[in-house]
Structure 1
Amino acid sequence: MTNELSPAELAQRLESLESRLAYQEHWLDTLDQAVAQQERRLEKLEQLSALMRERLREQHQALQAGDSQGSFRPEDDIPPHY
């Protein structure tokens, strides 16, 4: 029994390998696009988080400044039904 393949068998194996390679390249491109999209979303979320932190810090400072001046605080207001 010989280990040599016929030209038709070699062509079939080559075609099969090329098909698998094309399929893998397609999925690599798809995954690359998904990673790039997630990176863009992550950057936007990080910017939003930084903005929210800054706004929270500003509100906290404003509340502290209001406390030191003895100004009205909404949580000190008595509801009308009392």
Structure 2
Amino acid sequence: MTQDFSPAELAQHLETLESRLAYQEHWLDTLDQAVAQQERRLEKLEQISTLMRERLREQHQALHSGDSQGAGRPEDEVPPHY
């Protein structure tokens, strides 16, 4: 079943398709930029998470090494006027 379109109808149909394609390309570029930005933010958050894990591990080790030595840390001591 074929339809015979007039040249004006074909031109209108082609213009509609080109418009849709341009709109889709625009949104594809916009989404691509958003994904790239989120990837950069994710990498930064992963770096922060790694640093925080390392610091927590260091604090945990310092806390346990202080307990095993029997010596309290200065920040844990009660001032003499208490």
Structure 2 stretches lacking a partner, 5+ long: none
State the TM-score, normalizing by the size of structure 1.
Answer: 0.85
Deviation at 1:8, TM superposition (A): 0.4
1:4 aligns with 2:10: no
Given the two structures, how large is their TM-score scaled by the length of structure 2? Answer: 0.85
Identity of aligned pairs, percent? 80
Q: C-alpha separation between the residues in 2 aligned to 1:3 and 1:30? A: 37
Paired amino acid for 1:69: Q
Who is 1:16 aligned against? 16
Distance in 1 (alpha carbons) for counterparts of 2:59 and 2:32 = 41
2:27 aligned with 1:27: yes
Moved over 4 A (4+): none
> Could you tell me how far 1:66 is from its partner in structure 2?
0.5
How far 1:14 moved relative to its partner? 0.2
User: Does residue 55 of structure 2 align to residue 55 of structure 1?
Assistant: yes
State the Cα RMSD in Å.
Answer: 1.8
What residue number does 2:43 align with?
A: 43
Count, aligned residues: 77
Question: Cα deviations across residues 24-82 of structure 1 (Å, max 9, x unaligned)?
Answer: 000000000000000000000001100000000000010111001112253x75xx4xx
